[in-house]
Amino acid sequence: MKDEGHSSGSMLVSFLLGGIVGAVLSFLFAPQSGDETRKKFSDADDVKDRTTDYVEKNKEKITSYDTGG
């Protein structure tokens, strides 16, 4: 049973990692000025913070669900 939960957690991490890599590549290869790119990266920091908070909250929920709590 734990293996099933672990594989879905791995899949979620893989999905998030793929999204992050895709976003970084799109920023790097997009045809725009350096100022515009730097602004987008600073905006991405806000998204990263919100995503990190969301992942931490859901990780706690998943952990308590896996342990039966």
List pLDDT tens digits, range 35-51: 887 787 777 778 888 88
Residue 12 scores a pLDDT above 70:
yes
The count of C-alpha atoms lying within 13 angstroms of the C-alpha of 44, restricted to the half-sphere facing its C-beta, is 14
pTM comes to 0.40
More confidently predicted of 30 and 65 = 30
Whether residue 1 is predicted with pLDDT greater than 50 in this model: the reply is no
Token representation of residue 1: 């049973």
> Tell me, what's the pLDDT at 42?
77
CA distance 30 to 39: 13
C-alpha to C-alpha distance for 22 and 14, rounded to whole angstroms: 12
